[in-house]
Amino acid sequence: MELRQLAVVVAVAEEGGFTAAAQRLRTVQSTVSTVVRALERDLGTPLFHRTTHRVVLTPAGEAFVPAARAALQAAERARAVVSPVGGCVRVGVCPGLLADLHRVLVKLRDAHPGLAVEIHGLAAGEAGCAVAESTVDVVLTAAPAEHARPGLVTTPLAAEDLVLATAPGGSRSAPPDLADLALVDFPPGWAIRAAVDRAFPGRRVTLEVDDLAAAAGIVRAGLAACVLPGSVAARFPELTVRRFDRPPAWQLAAVHRSPAGAAVEVVLGQLG
Sign of CA dihedral 264, 267, 269, 272: negative
Sign of CA dihedral 1, 65, 77, 31: positive
Same domain, 202 and 144: no
User: Max CA-CA distance within the chain?
Assistant: 57
Same domain, 185 and 110: no
pLDDT of residue 79 exceeding 70, the answer is no
Same domain, 149 and 258: yes
Kindly report the CATH number assigned to the domain that includes residue 49: 1.10.10.10
Point out which residues pair with 48 in neighbouring strands.
57
Same domain, 147 and 258: yes
Query: Can you tell me whether residue 125 is helix, strand or coil?
Result: helix
End position of a domain, from candidates 32, 49, 82: 82
Q: Give the contacts of 195 (CB within 8 A, at least 6 positions apart).
A: 142, 143, 162, 229, 248, 250
Kindly report the CATH number assigned to the domain that includes residue 139: 3.40.190.10
Same domain, 266 and 140: yes
End position of a domain, from candidates 62, 82, 102: 82
pLDDT in tens, 211-252: 999 999 999 999 999 999 988 888 898 999 999 998 888 888
Query: Whole-angstrom Cα distance, residue 214 to residue 208?
Result: 10
pLDDT of residue 180 exceeding 60, the answer is yes
pLDDT in tens, 124-165: 777 778 888 888 898 888 865 555 566 788 888 878 889 999
pLDDT of residue 254 exceeding 70, the answer is yes
Same domain, 209 and 258: no
Q: Which residues of 226-239 are buried (b: 16+ CB within 10 A; e: fewer)?
A: bbbbbbbbbebeeb
Question: Domain of 49?
Answer: 3-82
Q: What is the pLDDT of residue 209?
A: 95
Kindly report the CATH number assigned to the domain that includes residue 230: 3.40.190.290
Query: Whole-angstrom Cα distance, residue 181 to residue 172?
Result: 16
Provide mean pLDDT across the span 13-22: 85
CB of 151 within 8 A of CB of 173? no
Same domain, 111 and 128: yes
Same domain, 59 and 128: no
Same domain, 54 and 107: no
Q: Which residues of 71-98 are buried (b: 16+ CB within 10 A; e: fewer)?
A: ebeeebeeebeeeebeeebbbbbbbbbb
Average pLDDT over the chain reads 85
Same domain, 138 and 23: no
Put simply, whether the predicted model's pTM sits higher than 0.95 gets the answer no
Same domain, 77 and 188: no
Same domain, 31 and 140: no
Query: Whole-angstrom Cα distance, residue 188 to residue 209?
Result: 10
End position of a domain, from candidates 55, 82, 109: 82
Closest CA to 239 of 181, 169, 188, 158: 169
Point out which residues pair with 243 in neighbouring strands.
173
Lowest mean pLDDT among 4-13, 118-127, 232-241: 118-127
Count up the domains in the chain and report the number: 3
pLDDT of residue 30 exceeding 70, the answer is yes
What does the DSSP 8-state code read for residue 1? -
